[in-house]
Structure 1
Amino acid sequence: MALKVGDTVPNFQAKATNGELFDSANIIGKKPLVLYFYPKDDTPGCTQQACSFRDNYEVFTDLGAEVIGVSGDSTASHEKFAAKYKLPFTLLSDSDKKLRNLFGVPTALFGLIPGRVTYVVDDKGVIRFIFDNMSGKIHIEKALQFLKKII
């Protein structure tokens, strides 16, 4: 069952960029969160998306929000990707697809590519906006637009 607008995000844990265990309870319900799922590290669309979040990261943090990216890549892959592009936010490894399944992130292109979906979660832990689109360009704009409405 996919999470939808109005649902409270359940607690989850995943390996973070630094190899440590990330616990959602440290953020969810305490501050707004922009959680974005993307297909793969260091591919053109995903790099463009990550760099757009990087370039706007201060805008998100000034609004009190955290940004977290999620893909099925390993923590080693995430570390290289984050270092190469100087990403200031956490990337979570979802190699077992537990987070994709928890959120109900669909696959794209006939089930061949992991989907690209962005969730805006308010400071109470409730999903307020979901944007599902394979173009990495417009997720940041849509997330910021909606985040500004709920702050």
Structure 2
Amino acid sequence: MLKRLVDKIPINKGAVKRGQKAPDFTLPDQDDNPVRLYDVLERGPVMVIFYPGDFTPVCTAQLCSYRDQYAAFRDFGLELLGISDDPVSKHQHFRTKQSLPFALLADPEHKVVDLYSGSSVFSSGRANRANYIIGKDATVLYAHVETISTMHRTSEDILVALGELKAAGKL
């Protein structure tokens, strides 16, 4: 019932959908090095993870879950990139404290956030929680934007999606 009501509230969910070509972007990582999506895609598929903020309970649980299953993601050839509007310095501290093996990209101006996941009142104006799996050819193979920021795709959800994509010959 609550989800049905929430789904009726207008939310900027971004414009990128499954089957479309993923727009390229360049953002600084936790060490202030520029990371370009299409450069990372040259090495294989990428999961871009949009999340509201470092050190928040749900975001920490989500990203640590992805950390714990990182080897399983890599078995599919998948690289991960986390994006929020937190600054580089906060990403650096969060990544180190949580021992995250993947880059965290800073988008304080919401240039990429608004294009992909959007934001809403439910994320306090911060990035909507979202996952995009992008194939090596830059095609969006999987797109999921959460309506409520306290929910997230688990590692198991993502691994099931990866298995389905692989079985369909898309990975």
TM-score when normalising by structure 2: 0.81
Question: Across the two proteins, how many residue pairs are aligned to each other?
Answer: 151
Q: Distance in 1 between matches of 2:126 and 2:109?
A: 15
Say whether 1:71 aligns with 2:84: yes
Higher strand share: 1
2:94 aligns with 81
1:33 aligns with 46
2:163 aligns with 148
Say whether 1:53 aligns with 2:80: no
2:135 aligns with 122
Q: 1:115 offset after TM fit, Å?
A: 1.0
Report SS of the residue matched to 1:73.
coil
TM-score when normalising by structure 1: 0.90
Q: 1:29 offset after TM fit, Å?
A: 5.4
Percent identity over the alignment is 28
Larger radius of gyration: 2
Structure 2 spans left out of the alignment, 5+ residues = 1-13, 167-171
Structure 1 spans left out of the alignment, 5+ residues = none
Q: 1:106 offset after TM fit, Å?
A: 3.4
Root-mean-square deviation (CA, aligned residues, Å) is 1.8
Q: 1:30 offset after TM fit, Å?
A: 4.4
Cα pair distance change 1:106/1:18, threshold 3 Å = same
Q: Which of the numbers 103, 116, 125 marks the counterpart of 1:90?
A: 103
